[in-house]
Structures are given as structure tokens and as C-alpha cells.
Amino acid sequence: MIQTEQVSSGGVTATVVDARIIFKRALDCRAVALIVAHNHPSGSLEPSAADRQLTEKLREGGRLLEIPVLDHLIITEHGYFSFADEGLL
């Protein structure tokens, strides 16, 4: 791992994540791959529609920039959900 970055902070129910900011920081660090993670304060490990849309947007952007997204993790105090483990990347 090269670096960890917080790219967004939001409320209890939502936050805005800009894929361009994620990839700019990845390019600045000369990253060759990404792992994205966020929490669900609700404790739910189920990815939302917005989580799925962001994952697809990042997957496609990573493909175009040759910076693959290796995983997108949802983390709660009860465990985690891995898009990669579930075959969703």
C-alpha cells in the first residue's frame, strides 16, 4: 500500500464521492491499482444502489486509466462486504 486518503465525508445517510478526485489522487501517487473502502454507520453490510453505481463507475474509469479497482469494501462494526469476494467487480 502506498497511501490512504479520505476523499469524502458525509452525514449518517449519504455522502458525495467524486470519482475524478479518487483517480487524480491515484495518478498523483503513481498507483497501479486501487482498493476503495467506506463505512455504513447504519451497520448494514448490504451495498446500496449508489454503492453499486460508484463501484461500476470506478471499475470503468480504472479500466480506461489502467488503474484497476481491486476491491470496494463496505465496513461496519459487525464485519465487511467485499465487492471482489462477491464477484461484483
State pLDDT tens for residues 39-52: 888 888 999 999 99
pLDDT band (50, 70, 90) for residue 12: low
- Look at residues 45, 48, 49 and name the one whose alpha carbon lies nearest to residue 81: 45
Name the more confident of 68 and 16: 68
- Look at residues 74, 75, 73, 71 and name the one whose alpha carbon lies nearest to residue 89: 71
pLDDT band (50, 70, 90) for residue 16: confident
CATH number of 36-89: 3.40.140.10
Please tell me the predicted confidence (pLDDT) of residue 88. Answer: 93
What per-residue string of b and e applies to 42-52 under the rule 16 or more CB within 10 Å gives b?
A: eeeeebeeebe
Please tell me the predicted confidence (pLDDT) of residue 33. Answer: 97
- Look at residues 46, 47, 71, 74 and name the one whose alpha carbon lies nearest to residue 59: 71
Please tell me the predicted confidence (pLDDT) of residue 75. Answer: 94
